[in-house]
Amino acid sequence: MSQANVDKVREQFTRQAETYARMRQTTDQKGLDAMVALSGVKQDQRALDVACGPGFLTMTLATRASQVVGFDATDAFLALARAEAGRRELDNVEFRSGDAEALPFDDASFDVVCCRAAFHHFARPERVLAEMKRVARPGGKLLIGDMLGSEDGDKAAYRDHMEKLCDPSHAHTISESEFRRLFQDAGLSVEFAATGPFDIDLEEWIEHGGPSAETAAELRRMIVACLHDNKADLAVRRDGDRVSFKYQTGAFLLSRPG
């Protein structure tokens, strides 16, 4: 990532690390187990979790793999991850800090390379993907999971505007077709792809970003307005006092040519 982008991510998640680490979508063990199963990682293999955040996917990988490295730009996340890995008594996991555009690992050094819920933070996702491919062995697997942007340009732009108001480190919510172009341009084969909805509580979403009270009020207004016109393509709904919406999510299993 550009240094400005890295600094923005570090600033946001240093401030919001503990809040993010408590979110349902972050700690969803069923989803984590499904991603690890999809990766196909084996007990004699080495895995890398890029932009690992508080490390829940890293630690789930560690229950299946021989050795796992969690990598993130934010030291506050890594401190939480190391503490939790210690509590779980995992001795086959380590955590490293740095920039996802310049992974500090040798070529072809991992059997499986994963990235969950982070590509929308990358200003230059093609460079991160190239680094993930570089450090994967020939024939190795890459696994990417993230929320998906709308295929409608206007709705995608409105969505990105809201996401950046909530979380200034947001770069762009990548649509499924954009992901597939990234994979094709990188010379990666898609072995499996699945999409599906994930329910998000409005107040939890605002809390994870930690905007000012004024901005939070504006975000509530913008989301509630989507009840009537769906201008963000988020299937917003109200149930009593609770407002929620749905992220469309995608998981992509890729293979590096042998």
For the chain, give every domain's residue range: 3-151+169-199+249-255
The two structure tokens encoding residue 88: 């779980």
The two structure tokens encoding residue 190: 């898609």
- Contact, 233 vs 155, CB < 8 A? yes
The two structure tokens encoding residue 76: 């506050």
Mean pLDDT throughout 8-18? 95
C-beta neighbour count of 187 within 10 angstroms:
11
Mean pLDDT throughout 53-75? 98
Mean confidence (pLDDT) of the chain: 96
The class that CATH gives domain 3-151+169-199+249-255 is alpha beta
Q: Are strands 67-72 and 136-147 parallel, antiparallel or unpaired?
A: unpaired
100-122 tens-digit pLDDT: 999 999 999 999 999 999 999 99
Exposed/middle/buried for 35, CB within 10 Å: 0-12, 13-18, 19+? buried
The answer to whether the predicted template modeling score (pTM) of the entire model surpasses 0.75 is yes
- 3-class DSSP string for 27-42: HCHHHHHHHHHHHCCC
Q: Are strands 46-50 and 110-116 parallel, antiparallel or unpaired?
A: parallel
C-beta neighbour count of 227 within 10 angstroms:
13
Helix or strand or coil: residue 67?
Answer: strand
Local confidence band at 4 (pLDDT 50, 70, 90 cut-offs): confident
Tell me the sheet residues that pair with 47: 68, 112
170-199 tens-digit pLDDT: 999 999 999 999 999 999 999 999 999 999
Per-residue pLDDT, 5: 86
Please list, in sequence order, all residues whose beta carbon lies within 8 angstroms of the beta carbon of residue 127, skipping any fewer than 6 positions away.
1, 101
Interatomic CA distance for residues 68 and 91, integer angstroms: 10
